[in-house]
Amino acid sequence: MAVLTPDWAVPENVFAYTTTRAGGGSSKAYASLNVGKHVGDCEQTVEENRRKLPYHEKLIWLNQVHGNRCVTLPTTEYDADGVISRDKGFACAIMTADCLPILLVNERGDEVAAIHAGWQGLVKGVIPNTLKQLLSAPDTLLAWIGPAISQQCYEVSGAVSEAFSRWPQAILPGATQGKFMLDLPAVAKAQLAQAGVKRVTLSGLCTYSNPALFFSHRRSSQCQQVPCGRQVSVIGFK
């Protein structure tokens, strides 16, 4: 199984990674390390895939709803798109297939968080809502924006682009009239900076244009292979 580790100065007691789609037991459109139970794959196979993950016994899986709610572990409320942990026994996990996975850790290494941020979550404020619930000051945080769909592959409608008018640097005209190319990582970085998080590292990896490495909802939709699998980005304490 191949995982990617963020290129950042993470405290030694913290682990963080994003899975690729390689090394699991799923087949066909889900091949091979699909970790999403909600996409139509065999549940037993997904469970086996999840057990292969580093520190799998610590991972808490959310019901992600493209909203702005954040929960703190341990919890009995799982409908959320932001999650915080200060407990060694519980690690944050965010599934994606084009949306942004954002991992956060403070300098002391005693507070971590993960955010699922698609365009809806960015508009609804999932980033600032999660930051408000952290005990750490924004200038003590390090952030990593993991693999997601890149601007050159993400065409959106005029209505969606209008929702991001506060970040004109993240919008380019599309090849089709009335369409626009949206840079989700750039918006997330700008929102983090506005909240005081200055140390942000971008993976620079595109889920859409790397079919051997990542699941991509948009790519699968265009190939009429919906639903598709999910990768997961994880952060927690060793």
CATH, domain range 3-150+184-237: 3.60.140.10
Residue 98: name the closest of 226, 195, 200, 198 by CA: 226
Domain ranges of the chain: 3-150+184-237
**pTM greater than 0.75:** yes
- Give pLDDT tens digits along the chain (238 positions): 789 999 999 999 999 999 999 999 999 999 999 999 999 999 999 999 999 999 999 999 999 999 999 999 999 999 999 999 999 999 999 999 999 999 999 999 999 999 999 999 999 999 999 999 999 999 999 999 999 999 999 999 999 999 999 999 999 999 999 999 999 999 999 999 999 999 999 999 999 999 999 999 999 999 887 789 999 999 999 9
Q: How many CA atoms lie within 13 A of 87 on its CB side?
A: 13
CA distances from 86 to 41, 64, 132, 143 (A): 32, 21, 15, 16
Length of the chain: 238
